[in-house]
Amino acid sequence: MLYRPFGKTGKMLSALGIGTTRFPAKTGAGIENAVRLVLEAIDNGVNYIDTSHSYLGGRAEEIVGAALRRTGKEVYVTVKSSYANDRTADECYSRICASLEHIGIKKAHFFIMWSVFSYSDFLKMTERGGLYDGALRAKKEGLVDHICASLHCTVNDMIKIIESGLLEGITITYSVLNQKMMDRVLRRAAELNVGIVTMNTLGGGLIPQNEKTFSFIKTEGDATVSRAALSFCYAHGEITTMLSGMANAGELHDNLGAVLRVMDRAEAEKRIELAEKGFEGITGYCTGCGYCMADGGCPAGIDTAAFMYSYNGIFFPGGVPDFRRTEERMLENIRICYRLKMSFNILPESGENPCLECGNCEKKCTQKIQIIKRVREMYRRFDESGYNKKHIIKKITEAFDNNHAKIGLWPASVYTSFIIDYVREILPGLGAELFIFDKNEKLRGTVNSGIKIQNPALLPRIKPDAIVITNYNYEADIYESIKHYENDGIKVVKLHDKNDLPWGGF
């Protein structure tokens, strides 16, 4: 295993880190297998485990805890709190304590402010009495060593967050797919000695799923394109650790094979050059270079680089969740919109295309992409899949009827918190009291966005005027299971149309 210093934390982290979201660990045997996999990774020198209270419905922390009790080696572990769940310092502090207890450790080495979607979110998290203050308290008490964040925002926002000086490390999406766009982030973090952990190093599975297309990143000795993709990332000296979720021993060994070799400078440079040239050779592929945005960018305010980079999803299947959708056009829409939201935090105002067709962007495009045509097509897709603010305002206003006194949301989830934020923003004068209902007993007494999660058994007593189903994966199943409340005079409303895409906050 290779190790690099992680920013100014004084810790040396292994090149490979364990991601804990992909273990097939639903049963006792599955959990034991996952524990053994973690132990095998540790025995091979991995010393960084990225986990969270919500991964695998809480089982990820159990798995990590069991593995730590069985190894004598020093391993660095994360605990996390997100703005979607925890709005105050107390909520964040309680979350940290609960995770430490669940894992069975006295201290986590890294606290991660989880899923920062924009600089304005970051400002809310770090304002007085907010989540960051809870982490600071935990640090003061020796419950965590270092405060870091995972970032899902624009490159400019990432740079502002890095420059805030409040973080010792960041976790970012980085792979051969977005390298050109993200290189500014790597450089700035390295200049300020902020450590970098990368996630989605295999493009969320997209790279191995398109082995032939990406074979150009392989150099002599790379048995698979996945190994080449990991080696490519590690060729960047700014990156300390690459997270890799692993479902079985085969995947673990594949990953280990990529990073157990020392790479000299010439090889590192050759890898980077190969990847850059290879992408430039894929006709119509947007490299994210940003040249189309030079000289003030688009007069209609379209972030053409972000749009075209997200449009790449049309060419490459995989890499993003399918949200249980099966129709091909729908899946393409998901691939485009998911990237637009997760990588750039962009949600169009409406389905109407504002492009003036001035052609400025096309003239500057290094890949000769027909940007005007693609922008037109993308707006058509935003319109048909409800991925725009106008549609969201309409749906929220309809579902959260201002004549109601009490409205329940079902179920509790990060996405529900995201919907509550929309409700508060779109309907600031909403008179109705909000409740969240969920069958999961483990969530009793916890909060989403400051709203206590209620036992559905209390529904007849609380008697909301309506229950709004916020889930988009299982909305039909949930509706079937709770529609009987309509017999008690409670309206049951599905927030999403069947053609809708989720609106973000994944």
State the residues that interact with ligand SF4 by CB under 6 A. 286-292, 298-300, 302, 304-305, 308, 355-361, 364-367, 369, 371-372, 375
- What's the rounded Cα separation, in Å, for the pair 505 and 503? 7
Tokens 């060419």 found at: 315
In three-state secondary structure terms, 30 is helix
**In the complex, least distance from residue 383 CB atom to ligand SF4, rounded to whole angstroms:** 17
Query: Are 190 and 238 spatial neighbours (Cβ–Cβ below 8 Å)?
Result: yes
Cis peptide bond upstream of 24, omega within 30: no
Between 14 and 178, whose beta carbon lies closer to ligand SF4?
178
Minimum CB separation of residue 468 from ligand SF4 in Å reads: 36
Query: What does residue 36 show for φ and ψ, rounded to 5 degrees?
Result: -65, -35
For ligand SF4, the closer CB: 379 or 422: 379
- One-letter amino acid at 386 equals G
The residue written with tokens 């009790």 in the block is 69
| Shortest distance (Å) from residue 381 CB to ligand SF4 | 16
Amino acid making up residue 79: V
Euclidean distance between CA atoms 251 and 226, whole angstroms: 10
Task: Between 243 and 355, name the residue whose CB sits nearer to ligand SF4.
Answer: 355
Nearer to ligand SF4, 170 or 365 (CB): 365
CB of residue 242 vs ligand SF4: minimum separation in angstroms?
A: 25
Q: What are phi and psi of 127, to 5 degrees?
A: -75, 160
* C-beta closer to ligand SF4: residue 289 or 467: 289
In the complex with ligand SF4, the residue whose CB is nearer, 18 or 306, is 306
Dihedral sign, CA of 213, 218, 222, 225? negative
Nearer to ligand SF4, 330 or 340 (CB): 340
Q: How far is the CB of 312 from ligand SF4 (least distance, A)?
A: 9
CB of 440 to ligand SF4, least distance (A): 43
In 359-432, beta strands by DSSP E: 406-410
Contact 448, 85 (CB under 8 A): yes
Least distance to ligand SF4, CB of residue 273, Å: 18
Quick one: 331 exposed, middle or buried, by C-beta within 10 A (0-12, 13-18, 19+)?
middle
Report how far apart, in Å, the C-alpha atoms of 105 and of each of 109, 128, 138, 184, 357 are.
Answer: 10, 28, 14, 37, 59
Minimum CB distance to ligand SF4 smaller for 38 or for 298? 298
- The strand pairing partners of 113, in sequence order, are 81, 149
* DSSP code string of 272-304: HHHHHHHHHTSTT------GGG-TT--TT---H
Closer Cβ to ligand SF4, 63 or 361, answer by number: 361
What are the residues facing 407 on neighbouring strands? 434, 466
Residue 163: CB minimum distance to ligand SF4, A: 24
Smallest gap from residue 299 Cβ to ligand SF4 (A): 6
Give the single-character DSSP code of 494: E
Nearer to ligand SF4, 26 or 376 (CB): 376
Other C-beta atoms within 10 Å of 437: how many?
21
Closer to ligand SF4 by CB, 375 or 434: give it: 375
CB of 210 to ligand SF4, least distance (A): 19
Helix orientation angle between 59-70 and 89-103, rounded to the nearest 10 degrees? 50
**Choice between 193 and 366, CB closer to ligand SF4:** 366
Query: To the nearest whole angstrom, how small is the minimum distance from the Cβ of residue 305 to ligand SF4?
Result: 4
Q: Which residues pair with 409 in a beta bridge?
A: 436, 468
Report in angstroms how near the CB of residue 330 gets to ligand SF4 at its nearest: 25
Q: How far is the CB of 374 from ligand SF4 (least distance, A)?
A: 9
Across 302-328, b (16+ Cβ under 10 Å) vs e yields bbbbbbbbbbbbbebbbbbeeeebeee
Alpha carbons 338 and 427: distance in angstroms, whole number:
25
Q: Decide: residue 181, CB within 10 A, 0-12 exposed, 13-18 middle, 19+ buried.
A: buried
Q: Which is nearer to ligand SF4, 65 or 290 (CB)?
A: 290
